Amino acid sequence: MVKAADKIQGQYTSGTNAIAQRASIAALNGPLDPTLAMQTAYHRRRDLVIAGLKQINGLVCNMPEGAFYAFPDISYFLGKSYNGQSIKTATDLCMYILNTVYVSMVTGEAFGAPTCVRISYATSDEKLIEALKRIKHALEQLV
């Protein structure tokens, strides 16, 4: 009974469901205007974030070519501290930024880059500008 149920389960969960198939057809046959507008918005946001990160002394960041996040190297800040809080890892830096200026970043450790952080730009320009300002302020406090 278990073997038969396993075979059925495998067939149901490994194939593309009907709703996703219909959505794919609509996406392929529909107008590209919304897609192109979103592409333009993401390029603008990417450029805004990269320009802002380049204004922060110590950060090194490449230009993303197909992602919705920046991935700056934060090695410069490792070993620094603020009010007794030592920054030893990218996770420490992410937590410091979150707890100090309420901006969330993801450590690069999960992506095989332990000296990097991941900063999403999948939000409004206004929120990105404010987040960059807060990140810069927090990083300037580290000694």
Tell me: the pLDDT tens digits for 77-119? 999 999 999 999 999 999 999 999 999 999 999 899 999 999 9
Six-digit token string for 4: 């038969």
Between vectors from CA 73 to CA 41 and to CA 104, what angle results, nearest 5°?
60
pLDDT at 8 over 80: no
CA–CA separation, 106 and 35 (whole Å): 27
How is domain 32-140 classified at the CATH fold level?
Aspartate Aminotransferase, domain 1 (3.90.1150)
Query: pLDDT band at 20, cuts 50/70/90?
Result: confident
The CA-based dihedral angle spanning residues 88, 93, 94, 95, taken in that order and rounded to the nearest 10 degrees: 80
pLDDT score at 30: 92
- What mean pLDDT, rounded, does the chain reach? 93
**Whole-structure pTM value:** 0.79
What contacts 70, CB < 8 A, 6 or more positions away? 46, 49, 50, 53, 61, 64, 118, 119, 121
The DSSP letter of residue 88 is -
Six-digit token string for 117: 């952080």
Six-digit token string for 120: 């999403």
Average pLDDT over residues 10-29: 82
